[in-house]
Amino acid sequence: MASNLGVSGSEFSEKVLKSDVPVLVDFWAEWCGPCKAIGPAIEQIAGEYDGKAKVYKVDVDADPDLASEYGVMSIPAVFLFKGGKVVDQHVGAASKETFAGMITRAL
């Protein structure tokens, strides 16, 4: 995982909820195979949408309260926030295009 994509519960409000651009958040864990499988795609999207959207990863083991707050029961769970609200979400592994499309629809 690119360390610059990690966001903790204490930073979540400022970096995600108060963002003026759409934010893709990947709820994941180190032990989760499908999470690792989509990791490279999430990192590529972060680069491709730089300046237009933000991308963060939340480690559900490190921040279980945050995962619980958003009802994350299965990972990977990818949420798209816009204006401080969840506007799209996908649970499970998917293609890079699926996650990029979530951002594109919110732009």
Is-contact 25 75, C-beta < 8 A? no
35 is catalytic: yes
Among the options 24, 35, 55, 103, which is catalytic? 35
Q: In 10 A of CB 85, how many CB atoms?
A: 8
Among the options 23, 25, 32, 41, which is catalytic? 32
Is-contact 15 74, C-beta < 8 A? no
Q: Looking at the annotation, which residues are catalytic? A: 32, 35
